[in-house]
Amino acid sequence: MKQETDIQKLLQKFVENNCNEKEIETIIAYVKQVKGTEDFPNFDEVLQQFEEIPDIEQKKAQEMYFNILKTAKRHKSAVKTRTIWRYAAAAILVVALASTYFLRDSIFNNKIENTTPVIVNNKIETGTDKATLTLETGETIALVKGASIQTQNATSNGEAIIYDNSSDGTSDKIAYNYLTIPRGGQFQLTLADGTKVWLNSESKLKYPVNFIAGESRQVELVYGEAYFEVSPSTAHKGADFKVINNQQEVQVLGTQFNIKAYKDETHIYTTLVEGKVAVNTPNNKTILKPGEQSNLNIASKTIQVGEADIFREVAWKNGVFSFKGKTLKEIMVVLARWYDMEVVFENKDIEQERFIGTLYKHQSIIDIMESIKSTKLIKNYQIHGNRVVLE
């Protein structure tokens, strides 16, 4: 069919970073229209288009897609299904890029300058699952991928920690633990009430090892970024759930949302994926609807609400970096946390240049830098130990 031939050609151009803006919009529209059942999109037809494209990693494409379906099947309502489909459509586009897609905002058809980077004693490693657990006694335990541990209240396989819910709601005393994620790390946590939390690099969460029946369930995001999938209040005698951070309190009854509140940033961003939350500050009470994001200015204590790009805001949780309209300086801050590296701009003029970009978190730092270099915005880069220098 002519449409299939056209899409194959466009996907090939997409992989080669040769699409113009109109062609990219055509690809997006095609992916969104390919559906199977009413509830779930059908990936087969899209995969057929990929077969004619060299270097597409089919296995990774399928793994990403089926992980999304697993998430979708946990959600029953049509609203939730539509939300997952938006994630799926965006993720399929990520796969179409083979391994990396990175464009300067208004530059297409760039040829890659073949300049060999200077790499000396590269010590930069891709981030992985790791954290430090601090018990109520003050004892600290290192959680690392591949190592199992068990405490009085929890078990961990090195990729996630799960708290025992057998005593949840029966105790009249609360003990607290801390989970600290270093630069170059990430970790998943299941609280005693069944709430799931994904913690990004350089984050810290304070939480109870158990909850008191009927009383508000409260945790504190000390700093960093976390995605919450909250166990509903109906399962806990009406007890609501609160996330405290700095100058704001997020109150929920059962929902999914993301909070970004890093120590070195001047704003706190709360993004609602589904459900309903109230963002409370000393001066305001703001109700968010699904698809909205609140932006709290810490200095002025003012808050603004706008529409959010949900996929991009929570892509980190699904193993992807997705940037749109971000400056190179902002992008490198995110990458520096995940790769636990230092970034130096030898050319300060490029710090404020903006990009559209999608990258996998499992890529090596050299793959990432080659992708940025392909935009021709930076002339070259150097890696010295844990330092990256942009020229």
59, 153: one domain: no
Q: State how far the Cα of 350 lies from the Cα of 253, in Å rounded to an integer.
A: 44
User: Is the residue at 104 inside a domain?
Assistant: no
User: Is the residue at 90 inside a domain?
Assistant: yes
Structure confidence at residue 142 (pLDDT): 97
Residues 6+ apart with CB under 8 A from 66: none
263, 201: one domain: yes
pTM of the full structure: 0.75
Q: State how far the Cα of 357 lies from the Cα of 196, in Å rounded to an integer.
A: 28
User: Is the residue at 110 inside a domain?
Assistant: no
Q: What is the dihedral of CA 98, 67, 29, 370, to 10 degrees?
A: -30
Domain total in the chain: 3
300, 321: one domain: no
CATH code, domain with 323: 3.55.50.30
**Tens digit of each residue's pLDDT (9 = 90 or more) over 157-201:** 999 999 988 765 556 678 999 999 999 999 999 999 999 999 999
**Domain boundary residue, one of 308, 331, 356:** 308
In a 3-state reduction of DSSP, which class is residue 53?
Answer: coil
66, 204: one domain: no
What's the gap between Cα 101 and its chain centre?
A: 17
35, 135: one domain: no
345, 282: one domain: no
**Tens digit of each residue's pLDDT (9 = 90 or more) over 239-294:** 999 999 988 999 997 799 999 999 989 999 999 999 999 999 988 899 999 999 99
**Tens digit of each residue's pLDDT (9 = 90 or more) over 15-63:** 555 666 677 667 666 665 654 444 444 445 555 555 444 554 544 454 4
363, 280: one domain: no
Structure confidence at residue 83 (pLDDT): 47
User: What is the span of the domain harbouring residue 26?
Assistant: 2-98
- Give backbone dihedrals phi and psi of 317, rounded to 5 degrees, phi first: -65, -30
294, 152: one domain: yes
Nearest to residue 296, comparing CAs of 308, 309, 311, 283?
283
User: Is the residue at 109 inside a domain?
Assistant: no
User: Is the residue at 112 inside a domain?
Assistant: no
**Tens digit of each residue's pLDDT (9 = 90 or more) over 134-143:** 999 999 999 9
276, 373: one domain: no
185, 149: one domain: yes
